[in-house]
């Protein structure tokens, strides 16, 4: 989403609230954008920042062509600061550094913007420090906080922000738009189940790492069904080396979750609901002969447990070894 007009099609209520504020020159000093993955939080944050710095705005729309718009898009504007978790959380030292930056005058104007990604991961000390920042708003300072888990945000922080709720996209509409962009039907079905974000879906469709990740999930499924004695060798020779970072490990488990959901759909006669494998896939039929319906439910629960362990920093290789052991029963 590059313009407010595009936002209006995807997030009509959010777009209307913010553009009305722009028209009336009543932008809030702090926003809390809350919504699931792919609902457009970062795109809206970028648009708000561009609108505040754009040199040639066209009504409510930033021009997207001036130096300020281009540098904000690339993450290189000196007066727009992005903050995201270091490890599992946003720590008080990060907030101290941010506040120190804001004691200096803006390099190009008095306007400053800070965007906090994963605001729900603020430690207690960091949250209290950012609260003091919000309690003393400057006309030239705009805070934009992004979260998928609004319940983890301190009520005192929420009360000082304009809260913008972002709704999940309709998978059917996204699937249609992806096919209009030239994506194959089955891939569009998968991508609309994977993400609610059109740009992310199009980018992942051409992402070599992600394509390999999907292949590895298929291969792991084949090994579990056809050569279960080789599963640990497969993990150490192929899986572990590809899924190195924590977010990659979580994505691998999310893909595995979709694959096993398809097997359950086949079992209950809902093949049309499959998203990872196309209907009629031979591997799904073999899986249905290997796993009972009850076993598949247990596998899905085991994958969800593995995701929680990854978030808790349990060693990923150990997590996967335990998972395949549970899958094998």
What integer pLDDT is reported at residue 16 of this predicted model?
94
Average pLDDT over residues 136-155: 85
DSSP letter for each residue of 195-236: -S-HHHHHHHHT-HHHHHHHHHHHHHHHHHHH-GGGHHHHII
CA distance 306 to 63: 46
What integer pLDDT is reported at residue 34 of this predicted model?
94
Average pLDDT over residues 92-100: 89
Q: Which residue has the higher pLDDT, 109 or 224?
A: 224
- Going by C-beta distance under 8 Å and a sequence separation of 6 or more, which residues neighbour residue 267? 288, 292, 293, 296
Q: Which residue has the higher pLDDT, 252 or 181?
A: 252
Sheet of 30-34: strand order equals: 80-83, 112-116, 141-147, 30-34, 162-165
Q: What is the pTM of this model?
A: 0.63
What integer pLDDT is reported at residue 77 of this predicted model?
93
pLDDT over 80 at 63, yes or no: yes
CATH of 4-165, one of 3.40.50.2000, 3.40.50.720, 3.30.230.70, 3.40.50.300: 3.40.50.300
Q: Where are the domains of the chain?
A: 4-165, 207-328
Task: Report whether CATH 1.20.272 matches the domain 207-328.
Answer: yes
What integer pLDDT is reported at residue 189 of this predicted model?
94
Of 174, 173, 223, which Cα lies nearest the Cα of 195? 174
- Phi, psi (5° rounding) for residue 146? -115, 135
What integer pLDDT is reported at residue 132 of this predicted model?
82
- Going by C-beta distance under 8 Å and a sequence separation of 6 or more, which residues neighbour residue 39? 11, 166, 167, 168, 169, 196, 197
What integer pLDDT is reported at residue 134 of this predicted model?
85
């Amino acid at each position: 989403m590059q313009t407010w007009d595009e936002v209006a099609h995807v997030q009509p209520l959010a777009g209307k609230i913010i553009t009305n504020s722009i028209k009336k020159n009543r932008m809030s000093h702090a926003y809390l954008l809350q919504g699931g993955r792919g609902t457009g939080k970062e795109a809206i944050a970028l648009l708000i920042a561009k609108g505040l710095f754009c040199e040639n705005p066209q009504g409510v729309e930033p021009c997207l062509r001036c130096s300020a718009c281009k540098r904000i898009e690339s993450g290189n504007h000196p007066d727009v600061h992005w903050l995201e978790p270091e490890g599992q959380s946003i720590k008080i030292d990060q907030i101290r550094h941010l506040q120190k930056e804001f004691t200096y005058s803006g390099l190009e104007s008095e306007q400053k913007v800070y965007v906090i990604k994963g605001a729900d991961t603020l430690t207690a000390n960091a949250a209290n420090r950012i609260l003091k920042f919000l309690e003393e708003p400057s006309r030239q300072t705009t805070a934009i906080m992004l979260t998928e888990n609004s319940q983890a945000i301190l009520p005192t922080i929420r009360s000082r922000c304009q809260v913008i709720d972002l709704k999940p996209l309709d998978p059917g509409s996204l699937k249609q738009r992806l096919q209009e962009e030239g994506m194959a039907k089955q891939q569009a079905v998968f991508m609309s189940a994977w993400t609610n974000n059109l740009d992310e879906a199009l980018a992942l469709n051409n992402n070599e790492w992600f394509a390999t990740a999907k292949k590895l999930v298929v291969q792991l499924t084949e090994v579990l069904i056809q050569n279960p004695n080789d599963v640990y060798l497969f993990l150490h020779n192929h899986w572990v080396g590809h899924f190195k970072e924590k977010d990659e490990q979580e994505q691998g488990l999310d893909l595995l979750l979709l694959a096993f959901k398809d097997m359950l759909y086949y079992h209950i006669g809902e093949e049309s609901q499959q998203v990872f494998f196309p209907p009629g896939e031979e591997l799904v039929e073999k899986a249905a002969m290997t796993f009972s319906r009850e076993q598949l439910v247990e596998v899905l629960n085991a994958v969800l447990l593995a995701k929680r362990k990854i978030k808790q920093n349990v060693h990923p290789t150990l997590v996967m070894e335990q998972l395949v052991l549970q899958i094998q029963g």
